Structure 1
Amino acid sequence: MTLEEKIAELKVGDKIKFEGQEYIVINRKRNKLDLKAGTLSRKISVEELIEKLKNLAKVEEVSQEEIAKIVGSEEEKEDPNRKTYKNYPYNFVFLGDKNKVERKPYSDSIGNNSGKLICSLVNKTPIFTNGKTKKIDVKDERNGKTYKHSLEDFLEDNGKYLVTSSSLKGEIRNIIEIITNSCIKNVESEKLNRKDFYTPLELVPEEFRPCKNIENLCFACRMFGSTGDQKSVEDENISCIGKVYFTDATIDKKKAKIVADYVPLKALGTPHPTFTRFYLKDRGSYKKEGSTIRGRKFYWHHRDKINGNENSLNSIRMKGKNESDKRKKFNASLKFLKPDNKFEFEVSFKNLTDEELGVLIYSLELEDNLLHKFGKAKAFGFGSSKITIEKFLLDSKDKYRSFTKTYDEGNKEKYLKIAKDKYLDENRKEIRELKAILNIVNDLDFSNSPFPDINWFSKNKDVYLAEILEKVK
């Protein structure tokens, strides 16, 4: 690789070492680079930089090892003595082996399996999906001020409570992305801070970034469809429809077990990807070359809330002597469903291959003791649910010759075996981590609170989020 080729690849955030200084590229415009080292800034043309580095290297052709000494820096090794913390409501599943990412052209007719899966979803912990919200006035007795507090209803339509099809699809797709080493979606593509050099998406290895066109799609995008790279020219064929379709999961309101009144919960909070000790690999930074996101985000199941009674919610209820103390501006009161409600939904599929169908079946039902998470308040233990395929129906070969026989019963085990043999290898770190965080059995205790107290972070600035299978130190 020539020095010219290496310099041509330089981008914002990369490092350059020459003349006794290590510079960071803070801007690049065609043939000119803006560099910075501490308070020292300078502009330099690509030609001038190449000439300086050639003189330094003494040769025009240099090896990768020699270039690494001049351009860029070695990735900082993880500190074996770092302090770690694990009892947090979420963690990240390893992205996977970037050398085993397989992308292929899209085809909507390559598989021979079409039909539908009739499924049930039973929530093992309280569950809540956002419906109507109304604001009420609450007076603070201490200062006399009045503020608005949110009362949130469970989502309903036509006399039924529902978990949306998009929520179901998103959860199942997340599972499939891990199992099949697919790309990762919904990573922020804008800088979180104007002083950052990189966006979160730029810290995703290139092999796992979202698919851009239908000639080069990962397993999940071939199955669920892709919007492609929206910045591409208009005449490029960059998007494709999916081959799997979900209905909403519904339950008749008259049959549902729901709390009698709105329950005031503690403030839920929001994601904080700027908290690099948790969101990025050890010592990562949005300013540092070689930094990488930790993986795909999942929430732990709370053992104390699985099929638990009302007392299991004490750790997340807002405390107060009366309702005005419990209902604040910063929290909300929810009317959620109690455990053990049975929702029903269907998954239709068209032209899936045997392995695609097997992966879909596995990702829906999972294994014993493994549960999904749906809805709001996952950090509080809500939404842990078990999906069961009640009926597996394949389009009948006589579908267009008979008015009575539309479907044939399918054999789940046949397709599951194909998926498990190819994708569920326990030697894969991401598979072990996925099964661990989806398991109702874990060594975490959220019975007091899902989050550390407010002073924990300021007192533990040198503590990192432990990996899912890591023993804390």
Structure 2
Amino acid sequence: MTSNRPQRPQPPSRPNRSSGGGSSPELAPKPYEFVSFPKERPNLQRPIGHHKYFSDRLHGTLYLTLKVQTSLHVSTGVVFMGSDIGNNRIPLIKTMVQGIDQKLSIQGSSLKGCIRSVYEAITNSTLAVITNKYRSQIPTERLPCRNKEQLCPASRVFGALDWQGLLDFSDAKCENMGFSTGFMPSLYRPRPDESNAYLIQGRVAGRKFYYNTIRAIDKGQNSGIPVQQAGREYIFKTKLNFKNLLPEELGTLLIVLGQDSKCPIALKVGGGKPIGMGTMTVNIDKIARSQSLQKRYSAYQLNEFDELMGDALQQFMQTQIKAAYSRLIQQPQLDELKAVLRYPSDREPPSGMY
């Protein structure tokens, strides 16, 4: 007896990706690329600790302005009725975090994960998180750090099991009132088991990053999934506290945030990365750092000389970036990443199946 039940549509078969990055004529180019692992094993060291502020380390706060370049959606995982958030034209909508003042927010954890992934890729670091299913295909030296006395460069800064890290991320709050509504196409999950693109000689090819593009795809109300989003040109503000960092560690962080003119990159935040969503550029408005820690913690107000802005800020950042290039950055991996995250970009998002 033949069943008349409707069958779930199957995604099209994906051809193996050639080493040159080519694609079948029927399919759009892949919207992602892999950044290879460094050839040398990671340099594992004991972290500096939190028990004191060391005089030969850097401490302070970065004040950041993030600008949305392609529509941004960082999901809460909750679907609301459109009328509940002020949009009566949409029956149901996937939401972002929105305060009682009607302003959107980006969770600090989302920013941390995005920034850490880039920091890991351009330093000789291990992976932060893996799926046990693919553990045997990951080089042993790239498995996550499990001993807090032996941490890779990224884990020493961002944290690992039993180690809190040296950076504190705050939620980024939107300066614009309200939100826009977008319509995302349905996206398939990654399928590493069905494509050789993820593997080289049975081992994972590297870290996967999605290209920045000049725009994001919007399928329209009749074809896409309604999402609450921050539209292009929306502005978010946040701050990032750091303590006990080496100059090269802070310099690498500044490169990740797009502050090196020789490496113009933008962050990819939130959902919809394959269709061009989530591109954000970063501007550092000022850095607050105390010349004297004793004076800093015996006064209620920061001295104006402790805030770096303008030319002094640029000079300070370039000094740390120079240290990063000489002592921490992996140049081949940075070059690979720069080709993917470069912004401004003239790359179009994939218009069809890829």
Pairwise TM-score range, normalised by the shorter structure: 0.7 to 0.9
Size of the aligned set, in residue pairs, is 309
Q: Higher relative contact order by CA 8 Å / sep ≥ 6: 1 or 2?
A: 2
> Which residue does 2:189 correspond to in 1?
270
Give 1:412's match in structure 2, choosing from 294, 307, 317. 317
Matches of residues 368-379 of structure 1 in structure 2 within 5 Å? 368=261, 369-379=264-274
Aligned to 1:141: none
Cα distance 1:384–1:402, how it changes in 2: closer, same or farther (>3 A)?
same
Seen in structure 2, the aligned counterparts of structure 1 residues 387 and 443 have a Cα distance that, compared at 3 Å, is: closer
2:238 maps to 1:345: yes
Q: Deviation string for 1:208-236 (max 9, x for gaps)?
A: 11111122110111111211xxxxxxxxx
Amino acid at match of 1:166: S
Q: Distance in 2 between matches of 1:389 and 1:81?
A: 38
8 Å contact from structure 2 (residues 122, 330) kept in 1: no
> How far does residue 444 in structure 1 lie from its aligned partner after superposition?
4.8
Alignment partners' CA distance in 2, 1:375 and 1:382: 8
1:131-184 deviation per Cα after TM superposition (whole angstroms, max 9, x unaligned): 441369xxxxxxxxxxxx841233212322111101111111111112221011
SS of the residue corresponding to residue 289 of structure 2 reads: strand
Name which of 212, 220, 234 aligns with 2:146: 212
Quote the residue 1:317 is aligned against.
Answer: 219
Quote the residue 1:122 is aligned against: 67
Assess if the C-alpha contact under 8 Å between 1:87 and 1:446 holds in 2: no
Q: Is 2:170 the counterpart of 1:247?
A: yes
TM-score, length-scaled by structure 1: 0.60
CA distance in 1, matches of 2:19, 2:152: 37
For residue 145 of structure 2, give the secondary structure of its aligned residue in structure 1.
Answer: coil
Out of 328, 332, 341, the residue aligned to residue 438 of structure 1 is 341
- Whether contact under 8 Å (1:104, 1:217) holds in the other structure is yes
- CA deviation after TM superposition for structure 1 residue 353, in Å: 1.7
Q: Is the 8 A contact 1:392 1:412 kept in 2?
A: no
Cα distance 1:206–1:156, how it changes in 2: closer, same or farther (>3 A)?
A: same
Match for residue 175 of structure 1?
118
Structure 1 residue 431 displacement after superposition: 1.5
**Structure-2-length-normalised TM-score:** 0.78
The match for 1:226 among 152, 155, 160 is 160
Q: Indicate the structure (1 or 2) with the bigger Cα radius of gyration.
A: 1
Classify 1:280/1:444 alpha carbon distance in 2 versus 1 (closer, same or farther; 3 Å): farther
- How far 1:382 moved relative to its partner? 0.7
**Is the aligned partner of 1:201 residue 2:135?**
yes
Q: How much is the aligned-residue C-alpha RMSD, in angstroms?
A: 2.8
1:241 partner letter = Q
8 A contact 1:87–1:445 mirrored in 2: no
Secondary structure at the aligned position of 1:167 is classed as helix
Residue-by-residue CA offset, 1:325-372 (whole Å, 9 max, x unaligned) = x26xxx621132211111000000111122222222222234454111
Letter aligned with residue 154 of structure 2: A
Residues 150/91 of structure 1: CA separation in 2 closer, same or farther (3 Å cut): farther
Which of the residues 448, 455, 463 maps onto 2:351?
A: 448
- Check 1:440–1:415 CA distance in 2 against 1; reply closer, same or farther (3 A cut): closer
Counterpart residue type for residue 409 of structure 1: E
Q: For residues 155 and 444 of structure 1, do their structure 2 counterparts lie closer, same or farther at Cα, with a shift above 3 Å needed? A: same
Note if 1:158 corresponds to 2:100. yes
- The amino acid across from 1:217 in the alignment is L
What displacement does 1:443 show? 7.2
Letter in 2 for 1:102: N
Partner of 2:296: 399
Which of these residues, 291, 295, 317, is aligned with residue 206 of structure 2? 295
1:107 is aligned, of 36, 48, 52, to 48
Q: Distance in 1 between matches of 2:81 and 2:193?
A: 31
Task: Tell me which of 264, 280, 284 is aligned to 1:385.
Answer: 280
Which among 412, 416, 421 is matched to residue 326 of structure 2?
Answer: 421
| In 2: Cα distance, 1:341 partner to 1:445 partner | 21
For residues 81 and 88 of structure 1, the distance between their equivalents in structure 2, rounded to whole angstroms, comes to: 12
Code of the aligned partner of 1:317: K
List per-residue Cα deviations over 1:102-130 (Å, max 9, x = no partner).
11112215652111000010011111122
